[in-house]
Amino acid sequence: MNTNDLSKFGRHELDIAQKILYHYCNDKITQRFKDHFGSNVRLELNPSSGEVFLVDDNYNTAMIDGDTLDLFLFTPDEGREGFFDELVFVYDLMTQDDKEYLKSFDTEHVIEEGD
């Protein structure tokens, strides 16, 4: 189960949390993040994986991708996970529901309409 109790974060996880907060506070975020991230933003740690991320009231998740903070997506049908740019590479293998879900995050119109 995820936690937002900072006393449960190790030094490495706190370093990641610091980087996430730096990106968040300095507007180093993607347009996708701006368009889709909601309220009650909080840091969380998955103690099983060691992943640190932001989460909102709608359970949207954001992590650092390169030099920006971006949404980390989970497709609703097959449960594929990754950043948008990673999921685009497997778009043709997705179910129709997952394709529609991914298209809803296509702020840069990378996915062609005929797909």
Domain membership of residue 61 as a residue range: 6-103
**79 domain-assigned:** yes
Number of domains in the chain: 1
**111 domain-assigned:** no
Query: Is the Cβ–Cβ distance between 76 and 7 less than 8 Å?
Result: no
**pLDDT tens sequence across 9-41:** 999 999 999 999 999 999 999 999 999 999 999
**109 domain-assigned:** no
pLDDT at residue 73, rounded to an integer: 97
**56 domain-assigned:** yes
pTM for the whole structure: 0.89
Instruction: Give average pLDDT by consecutive 10-residue segment, the chain, 115 residues.
Output: 96 98 97 94 96 96 97 97 96 96 92 66
Q: How far apart are CA 22 and CA 86, in angstroms?
A: 24
**113 domain-assigned:** no
